[in-house]
């Protein structure tokens, strides 16, 4: 099994939030195939970088992409597409 690089994992989290909008951590775990613990650590990092925001939604937290996170997602998408076209990574 190939391990995903941190940049691909970050891209995947941003991509899922871009596609689906607000999601709780359980939904994100399912969509990204990350453990709760690993995802929680990454979410905290992305929140500190202002790429995503945590919002309360009826007693549970949901995560959303910020404008800065959307910009980062679009840049990463372009970067990953170029690398995939060159055969350097699998999308």
Residue 1 has pLDDT above 50, yes or no: no
Query: Once rounded to an integer, what is the mean pLDDT over residues 38-47?
Result: 97
| H or E segment to which residue 31 belongs | helix 25-32
Half-sphere exposure for 47 (CA within 13 Å, toward CB): 13
- Whole-structure pTM over 0.75, yes or no? yes
Higher pLDDT, 1 or 58: 58
Cβ atoms of residues 61 and 55 within 8 Å: yes
Higher pLDDT, 2 or 73: 73
Residue 90 is predicted with a pLDDT of: 79
Residue 57 tokens, joined: 């939604």
């Amino acid at each position: 099994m190939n391990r995903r690089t941190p940049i691909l994992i970050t891209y995947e989290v941003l991509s899922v939030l871009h596609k689906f909008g607000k999601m709780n951590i359980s939904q994100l775990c399912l969509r990204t195939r990350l453990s709760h613990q690993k995802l929680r650590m990454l979410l905290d990092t992305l929140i500190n970088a202002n790429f995503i925001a945590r919002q309360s939604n009826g007693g549970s937290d949901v995560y959303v992409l910020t404008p800065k996170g959307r910009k980062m997602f679009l840049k990463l998408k372009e970067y990953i597409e170029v690398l995939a076209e060159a055969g350097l990574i699998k999308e």
